[in-house]
Amino acid sequence: MKTLVFGDVHVPFHDKKKVDVLIKIIKDYQPDMLIDLGDSIDAACLSVYDKDHSQLTGLQKEFDIDYSFRQQIKKINPKSTKFLLECNHLTKRLDKIKKNNIFLDDLRALKQQNLMNLEGTGWLLKKELIHNDILFMHGDGGVGKSGGSIRCPVNKARQDVKDSGLSIVRGHTHVSGMEVYSMKNRFCHAVQVGTFQQFDKINYIQHKSLSNLSCSILTIDRHNNENYYTLCIFQKRGAVFHGKYYEY
């Protein structure tokens, strides 16, 4: 059983070359399960923050780019089970709009899975997912205390491991890291998966001399009832995945 996890693509601010490498890796690895941790489109126009005119348009284009990305994946890895997790950039913003405009709430066309046409590309939308003793979540809410910090990538995942007794795989903070704990005769992993957003398009406050934003994917190979984790960090010029070099 092979699982590949990625997230925080943030169309239209994604790094296209890195996304192309992601698609090549999916093609070579042929996972049985794909998990997208969410924030697949940026949906800035739906946010409550102040924005200029250019940020008020382009939502359909974001959905179109995301759809063609999922079509490519369907073509090269048709048999995998595919899960997309709910997130703050789209799910929560849609929920807020519907809460303020109650007549929109029961419109089938405005459900996230229909706006993204997930059925067409074979993805299932889930709030969170527990599979083989691992809890996958976008990471903007979650089981532990709030306070995830981009300065300390694994802090929140570590707290969630303690609270849930499960391994935790999170996105949302756009940084990468992994820690391992021995619990009740088994290992628990606290994993933070990075982003495919171009780093200069991220407005979070980062120290000028030290930014810990990174792009990464996680694979989980399951053998003999144990999970084997590999966190693959994308570097400046390429990524090495299972011994093969992929250049951007």
Closest CA to 222 of 35, 31, 36: 31
Roughly what angle, to the nearest 10 degrees, separates helices 59-76 and 16-29?
30
Q: Cα-Cα-Cα-Cα dihedral of 20, 22, 26, 31, to 10°?
A: -160
How many angstroms separate the CA atoms of 198 and 239, rounded? 16
The residue from 3, 6, 8, 193 that contacts Fe ion (CB under 5 A) is 8
User: Using CB atoms, what's the residue nearest to Fe ion?
Assistant: 39
| Minimum distance from residue 173 beta carbon to Fe ion (Å) | 8
Which CB, 38 or 58, lies closer to Fe ion?
A: 38
The residue from 36, 39, 42, 160 that contacts Fe ion (CB under 5 A) is 39
Three-class DSSP category at 171: coil
Reported as type and span, the H/E element at residue 226 is: strand 226-234
15 binds Fe ion (CB under 5 A): no
Which CB, 70 or 89, lies closer to Fe ion?
A: 89
Question: Near Fe ion by CB under 5 A, which window of 63-71, 134-142, 200-208, 231-239?
Answer: 134-142
| Minimum distance from residue 195 beta carbon to Fe ion (Å) | 6
36 binds Fe ion (CB under 5 A): no
Which CB, 88 or 164, lies closer to Fe ion?
A: 88
| Minimum distance from residue 9 beta carbon to Fe ion (Å) | 9
Instruction: Report whether 164 contacts 143 (CB < 8 A).
Output: yes
Reported as type and span, the H/E element at residue 6 is: strand 2-6
How many angstroms separate the CA atoms of 151 and 204, rounded? 11
Question: Near Fe ion by CB under 5 A, which window of 12-20, 34-42, 46-54, 125-133?
Answer: 34-42
88 binds Fe ion (CB under 5 A): yes
Which CB, 36 or 118, lies closer to Fe ion?
A: 36
172 binds Fe ion (CB under 5 A): yes
Closest CA to 7 of 28, 26, 34: 34
Binding site for Fe ion (CB under 5 A): 8, 39, 88, 140, 172
